[in-house]
Amino acid sequence: MQQVKTPIAGVAGFGSPTTTWGILLAISLCHMINDVMQSMLSAIYPLLRNEFDLSYAQIGVMTFAFQLTASLLQPLIGIATDRRPQPRSLPLGMGSTFCGVLLLAFATHYQMLLVGAMMIGIGSAVFHPESSRVARLASGGRFGTAQSLFQLGGNFGQSLGPLLAAFIVVPLGRPAVAWFAVAAALGAAMLWHVGAWAEDRRKASAARPDTTLRLPRPVVMRAILVLTILVFTKNIYTASMSSYFTFFTIEKFDLGTQASQIMLFLFLLGMAGGVMLGGIIGDRVGPLTVIWVSILGVLPFTLALPHVGLQATGALAVVIGLILASAFPAIVVFAQELVPGRTGTIAGIFFGFSFGMGGIAAAALGLLADRVGIQTVFQLCSVLPVLGLLTILLPRRAQMAQ
């Protein structure tokens, strides 16, 4: 295959010539709102378990319902919007999240909880592909930094969810979840303006992005498969922490619900820091280096987590979140370079499909926890980062620039 020598940054004619920080901050803030809702769902699991007498398996199915909905829709939405971008659809996704939050607040039986989780998943499916495109459109060529800032909002939102649940929902009761819908409504209003900006910028761009593959198709497909596996293993571990870390700390250290949610907050706070560092460093040293350090570098800490005391568990939760999350913006940018012009498809695969597979893993981990105990589950998950060795199969950046 003839290789195109145009560097990746040179195909940004479809994007902005300078970084549009206002749009990046707005889309990051909306990502925060979107992911507050998602992490709030997992943070109130102990409350829902007590109120509805749920098993670990039922909790896993709730995570599965949320993530599978997003998994099925995100790649399809990404492919469709690559062909015809739809930035004005962004507030509709947040509207679905708004309805899902209200269902969680006022559900009277388990099936309503499942529908609420699925509607939040639909909102996420609509939001991620198009907002990832907007972030790249506003990046001005700083793709890693833009992706990190976009992701920072999401990870910060994930870290806020448990705290808001601990200090608002737990004291006031489940109906207090309805207050989160106010944030969703504000996010929808903000996304209306973001979508209008992106639509105007898209129409004003005369050039279309270069979609020529810079490597042979089999090499590209193998690399995308490897990246998907890396994100999948990362998401399995993240799902184990997001869905069951509170129960792990309650069982092992006899913590209360609020204290266990603070422990989860530490992990998610570490992820928020890691995702910002990953993109900024990736713009300097290349995303492949960040992927190597992140995926394999976290292994000693995950192996130690199930075997240490309370204070060390809190410290390791921060370190693991920091290192593990730094890989994600680097993986997304690396994949976008492999398949130029397919921003929505890449977002659909890595935000949608891989997260959905993480949801399936969460359901399986719940079934396993009911049989062998939550601490055994965490010991098994601690070895997952060893699959980071698959990074050796990825093409080098010099090959991609040829």
Q: Determine what percent of the chain is predicted with pLDDT higher than 70.
A: 90
The residues, any chain, with a CB within 8 Å of residue 174's CB and separated by 6 or more, are 44, 47, 48, 51, 104, 105
Q: Would you say domain 19-400 falls under CATH 1.20.1250.20?
A: yes
User: Comparing C-alpha atoms, which of 382, 371, 231, 240 is closest to residue 299?
Assistant: 382
Which of 42-46, 91-95, 217-221, 360-364 shows the lowest mean pLDDT across its residues? Answer: 360-364
Given a cut of 70, is residue 6 above it in pLDDT? no
Give residue 397's Cα distance to chain centre: 25
Separation between Cα atoms, residue 98 and residue 90, nearest integer Å: 13
Determine how many CB atoms are found less than 10 A away from the CB of residue 216. 12
Reported as a pLDDT band with limits 50, 70 and 90, residue 220 is confident
User: Comparing C-alpha atoms, which of 291, 358, 286 is closest to residue 327?
Assistant: 291
**Which residue has better confidence, 341 or 380?**
380
Coarse DSSP helix, strand, coil percentages of the chain, rounded to the nearest 5 percent? 85, 0, 15
Determine how many CB atoms are found less than 10 A away from the CB of residue 79. 15
Given a cut of 50, is residue 2 above it in pLDDT? no
The letter for the amino acid at 90 is L
Q: Which whole number is the average pLDDT over 310-328?
A: 92
Joined together, the tokens standing for residue 329 give 């913006």
Helix and strand numbers (H, E) in the chain are 18, 0
**In Å, how far are 255, 295, 306, 391, 393 from 388, measured between CA atoms?**
33, 5, 20, 6, 10
User: Comparing C-alpha atoms, which of 102, 92, 119, 106 is closest to residue 187?
Assistant: 92
Given a cut of 50, is residue 16 above it in pLDDT? no
* DSSP-assigned letter for residue 385: G
- Region label for 107, one of left (φ > 0), alpha (ψ between -120 and 50) or beta (otherwise): beta
Q: Determine what percent of the chain is predicted with pLDDT higher than 90.
A: 23
Reported as a pLDDT band with limits 50, 70 and 90, residue 94 is very high
Separation between Cα atoms, residue 92 and residue 105, nearest integer Å: 20
Separation between Cα atoms, residue 299 and residue 273, nearest integer Å: 18
**Which residue has better confidence, 278 or 94?**
94
Average pLDDT value over all residues in the chain: 83
Could you read off the pLDDT of 373-389 as tens digits, one per residue? 888 989 888 898 888 88
The letter for the amino acid at 89 is S
Own/partner pairs, 331-334, CB within 8 angstroms, 24+ separation:
331/227, 331/230, 331/231, 331/287, 331/291, 332/132, 332/147, 333/143, 333/144, 333/147, 333/279, 333/282, 333/287, 334/227, 334/287, 334/288, 334/291, 334/394
Separation between Cα atoms, residue 60 and residue 45, nearest integer Å: 10
Quote the pTM value.
0.72
Could you read off the pLDDT of 241-274 as tens digits, one per residue? 888 898 999 999 999 888 888 898 899 888 878 8
**Which residue has better confidence, 399 or 323?**
323
Per-residue model confidence (pLDDT) at position 147: 85
Helix axis angle, 21-43 relative to 45-52, nearest 10°? Answer: 30
Joined together, the tokens standing for residue 173 give 């009761």
